[in-house]
Structure 1
Amino acid sequence: MIVSSIKSLSIVIPVTERGDQLLEFLNGYYESVSNMGLVYEFIIVLTPEYSELADGIKSKYEAKNIKVILLNRNYGEAGVLKIGIDHAEFENILTLPPYEQVSPSHIPRIIDEFGDHDAVVVNRWPRVDHKINRIQSAVFKGILKLMAYDVPKDPGCGIRLSKKEVFDDLKLYGDMHRFFFILAKQLGFDVTEVDIPQSKSDSYRRIYGFRTYLSRVLDVLTVGFLTRFNQKPLRFFGTGGALSFLIGSTGLIYIAVERLMFDVAASDRPLLVLFSLFLVLGVQLIAIGLVGEILIFTSSKNNKEYRIKKIIN
């Protein structure tokens, strides 16, 4: 039996995709945690398309400490994950996917790495998956680095161990669970990474539809805005607004000079409309940034911009 500094643990498994593999790997998860001498619970949250798994789970683990939550619709993986965490009894939360990204035998190592940190996220390394998957991951991480400050080595891994307060403060929604590391770092939590070999069962080629890739790009833009400009929106909107205003005003001045000094007609020129639109767009973007600044200023007393790790007297 492995002894851990963690005495209690809630394991949350959100089942929103590839749920057909859950029963195959659940026993491995269960045995790995059971051998650590912890007080623990498993919370499995099933979306409607995987509701038939409930009977198989309860019949196999009838007397075990496993709680199954059936949902009436799919709320997105972050929403489903949040539901499981809300029903967790213990303060330490381990999130696992319904399929095997790393071998269950490595769970004790993740827990050992936790120590005094607020959270631990897993980096699947060395990787054994398909080359297509690695290219997709590299592109996704590259875009993410352009938009955010702290980027994990493996944003696609769903295995993380964290204090419950971290999840409570993050307010995850949609697919924002992928950016747990970035958002937690932004809030000042102490988050570390641990390298765990990738499971061979996680190596098949994954190709998604255009809508999925588009959604992820939009999510990256959202995270970039939340981490870089959430307290200074005028810098984001003001930069674009100032550039647009400069283009519009310069163009209109040019047209005015041509009209007054060279008698060039202005009313029938498409450039007049184009530069006018640039000018109006610039004013609107700057105004949006100013409204954002006003909202932040009026609510700043309710927002804590820092996190104290320890006070030593």
Structure 2
Amino acid sequence: MTTPQVSVVVPMYDEEPNLPELHTRLTMVLARLDTPCEIIYVDDGSTDGTPQELENLLQQSQPVCTRAVRLPYRRGKTAALSAGFAIARGSIIATTDADLQEPPEVLPLLVSRVQSGQAHLVVAWRQQRQDSLFRVLASRLFNALLRWLTGLSLHDVNCGTKAMKREVAENLEGWMVSDMHRYLPILAARMGYRVEEVPVPHVMRRRGRSRFGASRYLRAVVDLAPVSLMWWRGWGMWTVLTGLSLLLAKMHYPMGWAGLAVATAWAATALAFWIRKR
């Protein structure tokens, strides 16, 4: 059997309605590539018919090598991606979401950028977002903050469609905890890899429902604590917050104690992550 050169990892949770179309389009796209490919579906503990749908696919003859991993319970997108990375055999690893909002047809463009050596990691930049206004604004604010913090000209770091060299995925493995998947492009850049973005179309979800909720915003903020302290601006923000809070606390202002609590939690979260990472 030919060893795949491109592995496409697709994490999913309760995506039974989208799976047939996703698989059809994905296999058509990858079958046209002039290189052996494989698809790795990672079921993140789905509660609908996704596991049975995957089983049906695996029992059929496929034009592209198709594999699946089932997590026993829902562990989150980062854990699902990590499980897929662990069994991927390709020298290039791509990822995409199962909701079809980023068309699978864009994957060859991202893969070609990595194959040509233009970049070590390429992330899709969704154009004309077909999401709620609140979600779009939150994403823009989040990405603007990351651009200011890191100095990187990336506009959509948390997009699920990416392609990267295997070496990049392997070196990012230590960061694959909590919800760190959204920070992979900036972490790769911090490690010295070339990171690019490619504009891609974005379409409205036609089947199923998004699991994007308020808890994700909280996890994004918590996960930002250790990430932010990898850049001087992050340390600068922490130092200013701590110094100002100490001054206000000394003057017996309640805001000073609140600020110290935030600064302590910030540092403690970062420290806990680094201990866990080791």
Query: Scaled by the length of structure 2, what TM-score is found?
Result: 0.76
Counterpart in the other structure of 1:69: 69
Cα displacement string for residues 15-42 of structure 1 (whole angstroms, at most 9, x for unaligned residues): 1354541222111011111111211111
CA contact (8 A) 2:11 2:41 kept: yes
Tell whether 2:48 aligns with 1:51: no
1:24 equivalenced with 2:24 (yes/no)? no
Of the candidates 170, 187, 192, which is equivalent to residue 188 of structure 1? 192
SS at match of 1:100: coil
Give the 3-state SS of the residue equivalent to 1:165 in structure 2.
helix
| Aligned-partner Cα distance in 1 for 2:239–2:72 | 43
Report SS of the residue matched to 1:158.
coil
CA contact (8 A) 2:149 2:233 kept: no
For 1:104 and 1:247, how far apart are their aligned partners in 2? 53
Give the Å deviation of 1:70.
1.5
Q: 1:225 aligns with which of 198, 212, 229?
A: 229
- Find the partner of 2:171 among 166, 169, 172: 169
- After TM superposition, give the deviation of residue 182 of structure 1 in Å: 1.2
* Cα shift at 1:176: 1.1
Between the aligned partners of 2:217 and 2:249, the Cα distance in structure 1 is 34
Q: Which amino acid aligns with 1:168?
A: E
Contact 2:8/2:94, CA 8 A, preserved across alignment: yes
Aligned equivalent of 1:10, options 1, 7, 10: 7
Change (3 A) 1:181 1:107: same
2:112 is aligned to: 112
2-structure distance, mates of 1:20, 1:204: 7
> For residue 39 of structure 1, what is the amino acid of its counterpart?
P
Provide the TM-score with structure 1 as the length reference: 0.68
Aligned-partner SS, 2:202: coil
Paired AA for residue 202 in structure 2: Q
Q: Unpaired runs of 5+ in structure 1? A: 1-6, 252-270, 297-313
Deviation at 1:97, TM superposition (A): 1.1
Within a 5 Å distance, the mapping from 1:79-90 to structure 2 comes to 79-90=79-90
Over the aligned positions, Cα root-mean-square deviation in angstroms equals 3.5
The match for 1:197 among 184, 201, 205 is 201
Structure 1 match to 2:156: 154
Query: Do the aligned partners of residues 13 and 149 (structure 1) sit closer, same or farther apart at CA in structure 2, a change above 3 Å counting?
Result: same
Query: 1:146-185 deviations in whole A, cap 9, x for unaligned?
Result: 5443252123421111011112212222211111211111
Q: 2 CA distance for matches of 1:202 and 1:134?
A: 18
Structure with larger Rg = 1
AA matched with 1:154: D
Distance 1:141 1:204 in 2: 26
Q: Structure 1 residues 61 and 135, CA, compared in 2 at 3 Å: closer, same or farther?
A: farther
Distance 1:103 1:41, change over 3 A: same
Does the 8 A contact of 1:121 with 1:160 survive in 2? yes
| Aligned residues of 2:11 and 2:80 also touching (Cα < 8 A) | yes
Q: Relative to 1, partners in 2 of residues 1:248 and 1:16: Cα closer, same or farther, differing over 3 Å?
A: same
> CA separation of 1:88/1:210 partners in 2, compared to 1, >3 Å: closer, same or farther?
closer
How many residue pairs get matched? 255
Q: 1:247 to 1:139 in 2, by over 3 A?
A: closer
> Match of 1:51, SS?
helix
Matched to 2:35, the amino acid is L
Give the superposition deviation at 1:61: 4.2
Q: Does 1:121 align with 2:123?
A: yes
